[in-house]
Amino acid sequence: MRHGGNFGERYLGASYANQSFLCVGLDPIPELIPKGVDVREFLRTVVEVTKDLVCCYKPNIAFFEQFGRDGWDILFSTINAIPSEIPILLDAKRGDIGHTADAYAKAIFDELQVDAVTLNPYLGFDSLEPFFSREDRYSFVLCRTSNQSAVDLQDLQVDEVKLYEKVAQLAQSWNTFGNVGLVVGATYPEEAQKVRDICPDQLLLLPGVGAQEGDLELAVQSAVKSDGGGILVNASRGILYAQPYNNGCAVGGWAEATRLAASELRDQINMAL
């Protein structure tokens, strides 16, 4: 069984070893998985062909929950297939009060033994503290999300700044143990720059590249730290399901297409720095 550990150390180690800021999202979509391929085999193969190209893997728990009782076993199987030197960020977007938050933290960090998690800050600090208190684990707080409707709430004015900027300010104040980062969509590079200005040293997770059509170069340049690091650029569908869109690979060569897509995106990120 894999043992979760210090996310920051694993992130830096994998990023350096693989020369990568690419985070591959593990989102199993049954209708897109190649015919005749078991979901466990599919995810294990994705990991096998990309493990030297990534700085992190990000399984999204919703895509495992859709499989019902088997989903938990599939998630465990996927986690155990990931090399221990590569960090795992569980995309769960948890956010609840009191004992519920404690239970979520135990399930994610003690049972699944992953290294990091995404959190929803809407309920405030006491819903997040059970995660923040795990000093060797990392929490990424939703700040400026990549979806179009993000403006409905995140652009509201609060204390003379927009709500997402207020969240960034709070995330900086919550970063007592150096284990709080933020989620900032690649679809909003101007906002990413503002978040980076508020939080110069914290890690930023950048979803929205690929299928959501975020501007990769602009997003990377807006979010990167002054030392040239501090980002995780996430891509899921564009890598896992690259086969139908990549004519350079043989028919049925979905694993080859996945590796090629990951390699190309890794290199594009590096070129944007």
Q: Which residues are marked as active site?
A: 93
Residues across the chain: 273
E strands, the chain, are 22-26, 56-59, 89-94, 116-119, 138-144, 157-158, 161-162, 180-184, 204-206, 231-235
Round to whole Å and give the CA distance between 221 and 192.
Answer: 9
Exposure of 132 in the CB half-sphere (CA atoms within 13 A): 23
Type of residue found at 261: A
* Neighbouring-strand partners of residue 231: 204
User: How many angstroms separate the CA atoms of 212 and 269, rounded?
Assistant: 16
